[in-house]
Amino acid sequence: MTNQPTAQPDKLLTWLLNQKEEVRLEKLFSLSEEQQKEFATHWKLWARKDQLPPEGDWRIWLIMAGRGFGKTRAGAEWVRAIAERSPVARIAMVANSLVEARAVMVEGESGVLGVCPPDRMPNFEPSLRRLVWPNGSQATLYSAQEADSLRGPQHSHAWCDEIAKWDNANGRAMRAWDNLLLGMRLGDQPRILATTTPRAVALVHRLVAAETADVAITHGRTEDNERNLPTRFIRDIRREYGKSMLGRQELDGELISEAAGALWTRAMLEEVRIKGETSSFGRVVIGVDPPASAGGDACGIIVCALGDDGVAHVLADASVTKASPERWARAVANAAQVWQADRVIAEANQGGEMVASVLRAAEVNLPLKLVHASKGKVARAEPVAALYEAGRVRHAGTFPALEDELCGLIAGGGYEGPGRSPDRADALVWALTELCLKSRAVPRVRSDF
């Protein structure tokens, strides 16, 4: 690099803005700590091109990208730039709830208060849900769950965060969006920025379908922001989610469309997911779908339990892939011991008594019950999917491989998910059938031997 200004900040800033990103960053990181502080609040110096507003006469800018991409920072900086530039700006900041709007969009590490320089910091008035900048521009917080709160107020700009997460029960998310659009009537060029991790929900599909000169879309992956993320974080999440459908959605920012006729959908699984403590359990069952061969399909091993509230919980996916009979049998025995299973339900269509022998060899006291399938996998899965629709099943965590398989089961059809066979999904079906659908009309004692 030659002819680099080193003294006057204004000249250096002008020079930096005219350089390619790699040259600009190299120069910025070579500056003293004091100089870096001076330039730290110039967002255009540090932002990637995909974090800056696109060119063109767009009305809506949708950033649809993976976790950690820098969507919140891009949104906060966009709001800040508008507020500092226009004293008459009236900005709506909409999140799924007011709690999230405040915690993420305003007070979060990458929120508005975190990116504004001290001398141009807005005054946050929590009771009024309002930010007021020194020049008079204002931003108001809204909850998408209170769609009617957006009916009436007028705005010149809006930042809508995690729109795919907005609650659309009774069409609430759509009403909030429509009310916002109808109030975008201040200024010469009203604009909306929507930031989100993609999910196949109606509002996201609506914006994607409308992509024209009027709607600009920025796509991105978690790794796009790797310089600001811990290397171990990226390595660990890639190891956990890889190229599963959930990984493609949450990390690669890919909008995964639901298969037509799928028994399970992504939206359904998100609705049944819980965090934190679950209810105490009265019965724990492990479903097992043994592989036909050691080098073939996975051995599906799914742990489920019936809560005291009568709701079944999916607790763990202990499945193993490309395992010898001894290895998958040991995995079943370990899961039974860890979760103190009351029953292990194993399909014996392929292998018959050999399945029982292998499992007994791993643990002689295994509480085993063999089952034989008289219907296909999809037909067996349909009544279990109905349990989800009725709110009788919860997922105590995220199970990417299992959930990918569930979303690949097609009503009245076949399987369109990853791999050759939905082994994990089948194991879940056996476990939940035992817990929730087993007929108890005629008590009887059954022996496997």
Lookup result for tokens 């008459």 = 88
**pLDDT digit string, tens, across residues 47-85:** 899 999 999 999 999 999 999 999 999 999 999 999 999
Contact 339, 316 (CB under 8 A): yes
**Angstrom distance (rounded) from CA 243 to CA 247:** 5
Looking at residue 205, its pLDDT comes to: 87
- Indicate if 36 and 130 belong to the same structural domain: no
The CATH number for 145's domain is 3.40.50.300
Q: How far is CA 258 from CA 37, 205, 347, 389, 416, in A?
A: 47, 11, 29, 16, 11
| Residues near 198 by beta carbon (within 8 Å), at least 6 away in sequence | 64, 164, 204, 249, 253, 254, 255, 256
Q: Is residue 379 situated within a structural domain? A: yes
Domain boundary among 241, 274, 300: 241
Q: How far is CA 31 from CA 3, 25, 284, 441, in A?
A: 16, 10, 60, 78
Contact 306, 283 (CB under 8 A): yes
- Indicate if 420 and 346 belong to the same structural domain: yes
Tally of domains within the chain: 3
**Angstrom distance (rounded) from CA 264 to CA 259:** 9
State the pTM of this model. 0.66
- Indicate if 353 and 388 belong to the same structural domain: yes
- Indicate if 224 and 326 belong to the same structural domain: no
Q: Is residue 189 situated within a structural domain? A: yes
CB hemisphere CA count around 121 (13 angstroms)? 12
- Indicate if 41 and 69 belong to the same structural domain: no
**Angstrom distance (rounded) from CA 259 to CA 250:** 18
- Indicate if 41 and 58 belong to the same structural domain: no
Q: Is residue 118 situated within a structural domain? A: yes
- Indicate if 228 and 132 belong to the same structural domain: yes
The CATH number for 308's domain is 3.30.420.280
Which tokens hold the place of 316? 């763990």
- Indicate if 78 and 223 belong to the same structural domain: yes
- Indicate if 346 and 237 belong to the same structural domain: no
CB hemisphere CA count around 379 (13 angstroms)? 4
Q: Is residue 4 situated within a structural domain? A: no
Question: Which residues on neighbouring strands pair with residue 395, listed in sequence order?
Answer: 273, 314
- Indicate if 179 and 96 belong to the same structural domain: yes
Q: Is residue 447 situated within a structural domain? A: no
Q: Is residue 216 situated within a structural domain? A: yes
- List the one residue out of 52, 48, 39 whose CA is nearest residue 81: 52
Q: Is residue 247 situated within a structural domain? A: no
Digitized pLDDT (tens) for each residue of the chain, 449 residues in all: 445 555 566 777 777 777 777 787 788 788 777 777 767 778 888 889 999 999 999 999 999 999 999 999 999 999 999 999 999 999 999 999 999 999 999 999 999 999 998 889 999 999 999 999 999 999 999 999 999 999 999 999 999 999 998 987 778 899 999 999 999 999 999 999 999 999 878 899 899 988 777 999 999 999 999 988 998 998 888 888 877 777 888 899 988 877 778 999 888 888 898 876 666 788 999 999 998 766 667 899 999 999 988 899 999 999 999 888 899 999 999 999 999 999 999 988 766 567 888 888 888 788 989 988 888 889 999 999 999 999 999 999 889 889 989 998 998 778 887 778 899 999 999 999 999 997 544 444 444 53
Q: Is residue 260 situated within a structural domain? A: no
CA angle 222, 225, 227 (to 5 degrees): 130
| Residues near 71 by beta carbon (within 8 Å), at least 6 away in sequence | 63, 65, 161, 195, 196, 197
- Indicate if 80 and 227 belong to the same structural domain: yes
Burial of 279: CB neighbours in 10 Å, binned 0-12, 13-18, 19+ = middle
**Angstrom distance (rounded) from CA 187 to CA 170:** 32
- Indicate if 119 and 237 belong to the same structural domain: yes
Identify the helix (H) or strand (E) that includes residue 22.
helix 21-30
Domain that holds residue 145: 49-241
